[in-house]
Structure 1
Amino acid sequence: MLELKNVDAHYGPVQALRGVDLRVREGEIVTLIGANGAGKSTLMTGIFGAPRISSGQILFRGQDISRVPSHKVSQLGIALSPEGRRIFPRMTVMENLRLGATFVDPAHFGSDLERIFALFPVLGERHQQRAGTLSGGEQQMLAIGRALVSRPRLLMLDEPSLGLAPIYIRKIFQIIREVNRTDGMTVLLVEQNAHHALRLADHAYVLQHGEIALSGTGAELLKSPEVKAAYLAGTHAESV
């Protein structure tokens, strides 16, 4: 479904991605882990052209989207729930969700809204509440819901558990699993909570200094000595 081939990306003279090769097959959960500054968010936003990649190719369902405008990428069926949520705090929950559905047939909005409220009941309860007054975990649910109402073929999640309490972390990972298994949603997940992310993943990549250092199934990377030492030390195997 999504393939990055030998992708480089720069911020001015600073190279953020170096020869990245990555593949997401339809129906998979693919996880990308790495330390702060490794280039994970650059990879995600680079798919939307921010920054525009310096060289290489980004293919979505066989189409080269390396130079496609950001809004056109969304219309092709890719949605991003960005790091830091980036909801519109002065708008209500409902208004944020309506913005997510900008590029889809409005006839679907009612049924899509029912699905979002089934996944995240608190959003239904607070649909007229200003988004900025929600808790951090509730705002993350809203950010994911806003992405889902765009009816994406590929859902990209950038650090969805960042800064959340454990109860919300468990909920977020449960929802990721549900939309993948029940709805058949393809997911590309960037996450620092490596243990939970790798347990979910069909395939996983480790990004270091802008380069892919390791790849394999989620189970393989959970057992990798290098991954254990760098990303799993001090964690515990809590069920999701």
Structure 2
Amino acid sequence: MNSQSKGFSLRNTFTAIAAVVALVSSSSAREDVPAGRSPLREDRRSHELAQPQGEDPSCSRLDRALQRGYNSGRYSVQEWEVWPDGRTTLAFEQRSNGRFMYLLNTVMGWSIRQRWEMYTVEDGQPVFTNCTEVAAATTYRGDTAIYTDAEWQRGSLRAVATVVLSEQEGRILRVDRRFVGHSPFRTERTFEIWETRRDLIAKPDAKPDLPW
């Protein structure tokens, strides 16, 4: 890969991260927080948070699962690109713990940034709309799972999504997206793998060496 192609790939990766999970890479933990967001400083569970105004009522179960993941003390998300020939490539990985998020950029490695809260309604618009449960409960990664089709949006990005939820614990296990119009990744289709079981999320090899 020449330097121009590598630079383009890196810019695309940063754009994707910022747009989809509102994360950007930095070389050390930083204290700045995007406008309109609150820094996440403690372990907060979704059942302790008021349901935001502006959500689509059909997506209530999905939105509570989203909050439960984003606002828990420790969770991880892997974002994978899906190519037309069926290949998959890791776009990035995020591991959040307490006040900080660890971000794996496939070119630059791990970095650390202050973590902030994510919302189910942004700029007055719900993140998920038109939710429909599409499959009877089945098993996914050892959990009884519910499959929900939905429309997804953040900012100018739009996608058709299928979300896999744990029926028992009410947490997100996987999100498949097909972007409509512009994709912030190199592919039109992506999927996220979520992990919220604290003991299964390893501390990244990143500096500074923060408590885990």
The alignment's TM-score, normalised by the length of structure 2, stands at 0.27
Which structure shows the higher strand fraction? Answer: 2
Q: Which is bigger in relative contact order (C-alpha 8 A, separation at least 6)? A: 1
Which structure shows the higher helix fraction? Answer: 1
The alignment's TM-score, normalised by the length of structure 1, stands at 0.25
